[in-house]
Amino acid sequence: MTAPHASVRPPAVAGTFYPGDARVLARDVRSLLDAARGTASDRAAPKAIIAPHAGYVYSGPVAASAYALLAPLRGRIDRVVLLGPTHRVAVRGLAAPGAAAFATPLGTVEIDGAAIGALRDLPQVVLSPQAHALEHSLEVHLPFLQEVLGTFRLVPLAVGHATASEVAAVLERLWGGPETLIVVSSDLSHYLPYRHAQALDRETARAILDLATDITHEQACGATPIAGLNLAARRLGLTPELIDLRNSGDTAGDRSRVVGYGSFAFHAPGAS
CB 174 within 8 Å of CB 114: no
Cα gap 126→1, rounded to integer Å: 5
What total of structural domains would you count in the chain?
1
Listed as ranges, residues in the chain with pLDDT below 70 are 1-6, 39-41, 271-272
Residue 179: how many other CB atoms lie within 10 Å: 12
User: In which element (H, E) is residue 178 found?
Assistant: none
* The predicted structure's pLDDT at residue 4: 46
**In-domain check, residue 272:** no
CA 36 to CA 261: how far, in whole Å? 15
- Inside any domain, residue 3: no
Q: Is the pTM of this model over 0.75?
A: yes
Instruction: Tell whether 179 is covered by a domain.
Output: yes
Residue 251 counted as domain residue:
yes
Question: Which runs of consecutive H residues, i.e. helices, occur in the chain?
Answer: 22-40, 56-67, 113-117, 129-133, 136-139, 142-149, 164-174, 194-209, 223-236, 248-251
Is residue 99 assigned to a domain?
Answer: yes
Decide if 1 is inside a domain. no
pLDDT tens digits, residue range 182-236? 999 999 999 999 999 999 999 999 999 999 999 999 999 999 999 999 999 999 9
Dihedrals φ, ψ of 240, to 5°? -85, 155
Residue 105 lies in a domain: yes
Q: What is the pLDDT at residue 41?
A: 61
Predicted local confidence at residue 36, as pLDDT:
95
The CATH number for 103's domain is: 3.40.830.10
Question: What is the model's pLDDT at position 244?
Answer: 97
Residue 148 Cα to chain centre, angstroms: 14
Residue 88 within any structural domain of the chain: yes
Structural domain for 59, as ranges: 8-267
Predicted local distance difference test score (pLDDT) of residue 54: 97
